[in-house]
Amino acid sequence: MGDRKPYPSDVTDAQWALIGPFLRAWKAKRVSVSGHQGDYDLREIVNAILYQNRTGCQWAYLPHDLPPKSATYYYFALWRDDGTDQAIHDLLRCQAREKAGRTEDPTAVVLDSQSVRAANHVPAATTGKDAGKKVSGRKRALAVDTLGLVIAVVVTAASVTDNAIGIRLLDTVVERAPTVTRAWVDAGFKQDLALHGSVLGVDVEVVKRSDTRPGFVPVRKRWIVEQTYGTLMLHRRLVREYESRPESAVSRTLWASMVTIVRRLTGTSTPSWRHR
């Protein structure tokens, strides 16, 4: 960080000790022909990505004491396209599960989707309208384990049905964690998902809300993924859909999830933006 004052979203030394080795190994494999190592420290690049995720600022509004848009976006897009962000996220998730006394890969997941309004610059070709929720934008679907850790992310137009997005999500789950044999979903996911799950060897169970208890009632199993959504929404870049490409929206979700995971691994927390 040099001499600049740290931002609340900066990774701590303990957190960087978890992320840094992966990025140093990645950089060691990408040696420039000229031997040029780059003008910016990778830790500062990560800090810039996390700052933007947490505050929701535009690229051009990154603080001057962080790497500029040109450098930050270069690495963000590079790690998105070559799968580095996904690889780091999954390895950290395995560490978090082991620390909690679980096996590296889960056997059960909880699926859910949320509709997010899109900003006016997001291409119409990648957005749509959720007729049920009256939201124009995209759907962000998550599969999380019983600890609330993200296993898979799928981002589509909001017009895509929960059933179709659930099938894509379940395919991704089986690819990322072939040990999964059970999935809990809400009533928005129809019988086609259960049939697709049986083909993949995953038992899909619909967990319905109670109609007999008034007011807000946390639903067993499903509440786990709702908690994860609530945590991710602390990152203002995810509150509205700002990304031109759905792949970038997936990457944003992975970076936000990584923050939660390294907090668990190091026993730290990100200071709240709210004044006490």
Question: How far is Cα 272 from Cα 99, in angstroms, rounded to an integer?
Answer: 25
pTM higher than the cut 0.85: yes
Residue 35 within any structural domain of the chain: no
Residue 113 within any structural domain of the chain: yes
Question: Are 157 and 138 within 8 A, CB to CB?
Answer: yes
Residue 20 within any structural domain of the chain: no
CATH number of the domain within which 189 lies: 3.30.420.10
Sequence letter at residue 199? V
Residue 122 within any structural domain of the chain: yes
Q: What range defines the domain where residue 191 resides?
A: 105-241
Residue 132 within any structural domain of the chain: yes
Give the per-residue pLDDT at 145.
95
Question: Are 107 and 182 within 8 A, CB to CB?
Answer: yes
Question: Are 248 and 81 within 8 A, CB to CB?
Answer: no
Residue 111 within any structural domain of the chain: yes
Residue 262 within any structural domain of the chain: no
Max CA separation in the chain (angstroms): 70
**Domain total in the chain:** 1
Task: Give pLDDT tens digits for 59-79.
Answer: 999 999 999 999 999 999 999
Task: Give pLDDT tens digits for 206-265.
Answer: 887 665 666 555 567 788 999 999 999 999 999 999 999 999 999 999 999 999 999 999
Torsion of CA 168, 255, 268, 10, to 10 degrees: -170
Residue 156 within any structural domain of the chain: yes
Question: How far is Cα 29 from Cα 41, in angstroms, rounded to an integer?
Answer: 16
